[in-house]
Amino acid sequence: MQRLLFPPFRALKGRQCLQLLAPRAAPRAQCDCIRRPLRPGQYSTISEVALQSGRGTVSLPSKAAERVVGRWLLVCSGTVAGAVILGGVTRLTESGLSMVDWHLIKEMKPPTSQEEWEAEFQRYQQFPEFKILNHDMTLTEFKFIWYMEYSHRMWGRLVGLAYILPAAYFWRKGWLSRGMKGRVLALCGLVCFQGLLGWYMVKSGLEEKSDSHDIPRVSQYRLAAHLGSALVLYCASLWTSLSLLLPPHKLPETRPLLQLRRFAHGTAGLVFLTALSGAFVAGLDAGLVYNSFPKMGESWIPEDLFTFSPILRNVFENPTMVQFDHRILGITSVTAITVLYFLSRRIPLPRRTKMAAVTLLALAYTQGSVLFNFILKISDLDEGIRNI
């Protein structure tokens, strides 16, 4: 409070009029000062000390509310990252189709008695995944996959509450500027859309397909949309929070800096596209088609890349083409990140920007090495099965 009040007092010592504007309080003219309307987005705490005189208005906005909003959005981005990880685990354990209903409030209470569990299991038995894939599943095994999907859905509800409830509080308190109100509305709307899209995705795996006896799975298109919207929500929340928490660096707009910025934007788009292609790989189980690297089987370019007609279908529905595209995009993304790192070394940049470039490079190669070792283990397992 002292830092807010004393500097203005010293700055305007001897002036005719001094007025402290408190939240939502209409300014009262006690002297011949010019009355100014409150600007949109003023904080409801004493977030602004307005010093008014006959020559104009000088204001000192407080950063306290911005820091609170920034930390809130940082936590929200962490919850979204947790939802993506938990969704991946749910996908790996093939648990996503275990809950065959969607109710916003009703399904928050899990089955508690033996009768309720048996009724839930009977509902699951009416859908293709049980009939084709899990027809010999026991109730104990069903409980495991059910709890996996239940955890993912409840985490999604937690993410929604983490966005909507604090947003309503900050809005009411007046801690959001006009521009921030638009961003917060967009983020909350995207959270709600994400939940509806998740159920729309699951619903595609519960539909009876009379012309197919393949393993029931969700639509790869809806899975990619579900993952893509989550990544957009995560990036938007993180970017907004860091914009509020970290002071901007004012660098000279040199040509190398502009080129680096454009290349960074292109690399981000490439990584996003690679992640979406990974969703298509997961949706089609395309990762199981070829388990060798860098070759796919005995050749660099498989012969069954264009088996579907029309040709464009192969990009989204042919498992071989989907895996091939994902490999190419992954290699290209790692290469682009490497080039981005070396470009950043040639330009004088702030310390945190250099740290971000190094961290990005380390994460890219760590992910690549983990995936490579995973493929090698799958290849060894496949070779061992053949030798039996």
pLDDT the model gives residue 108: 86
Report how far residue 316's alpha carbon sits from residue 40's, in angstroms, rounded to the nearest whole number. 47
For 165, which DSSP code? H
Number of residues written out for the chain:
388
b/e map 4-35, b = 16+ CB within 10 Å:
beeebeeeeeeeeebbebeeeeebeeeeebee
Report how far residue 77's alpha carbon sits from residue 159's, in angstroms, rounded to the nearest whole number. 9
Report how far residue 227's alpha carbon sits from residue 198's, in angstroms, rounded to the nearest whole number. 9
Q: What are phi and psi of 228, to 5 degrees?
A: -60, -40
Provide the residue-wise pLDDT of the chain in tens; the chain has 388 residues: 444 334 443 443 444 443 433 444 444 444 444 444 444 444 443 333 333 333 333 332 368 888 999 999 999 999 999 999 999 999 989 999 999 988 888 878 999 999 999 999 999 999 999 998 888 999 999 999 999 999 999 999 999 999 999 999 999 988 898 889 999 999 999 999 999 999 999 999 998 776 555 778 899 999 999 999 999 999 999 999 999 998 777 878 888 899 999 999 999 999 999 999 999 999 998 988 888 888 888 889 998 899 998 999 999 999 999 999 999 999 999 999 999 999 999 888 888 889 999 999 999 999 887 777 666 665 555 445 444 5
Please list, in sequence order, all residues whose beta carbon lies within 8 angstroms of the beta carbon of residue 343, skipping any fewer than 6 positions away. 256, 259, 260, 263
Q: Which residue has the tokens 């579900």?
A: 226
Report how far residue 59's alpha carbon sits from residue 374's, in angstroms, rounded to the nearest whole number. 58
The CA distances from residue 208 to 127, 165, 193, 214, in Å, are 7, 39, 25, 11
pLDDT the model gives residue 7: 43
pLDDT the model gives residue 224: 95
Judge residue 278's burial from the number of C-beta atoms within 10 Å of its C-beta, 0-12 exposed, 13-18 middle, 19 or more buried.
Answer: buried
| Alpha-carbon torsion, ordered 371, 374, 375, 378, to 10 deg | -160
Q: Which residue has the tokens 């104009």?
A: 56
**DSSP H or E segment with residue 48:** strand 48-53
For 106, which DSSP code? G
Q: What are phi and psi of 296, to 5 degrees?
A: -110, 100
For 318, which DSSP code? -
pLDDT the model gives residue 290: 87
Type of residue numbered 266: G
pLDDT the model gives residue 9: 38
Please list, in sequence order, all residues whose beta carbon lies within 8 angstroms of the beta carbon of residue 45, skipping any fewer than 6 positions away. 23, 62, 64, 65, 173, 175
For residue 250, give both structure tokens.
Answer: 């004012």
For residue 338, give both structure tokens.
Answer: 């490497």
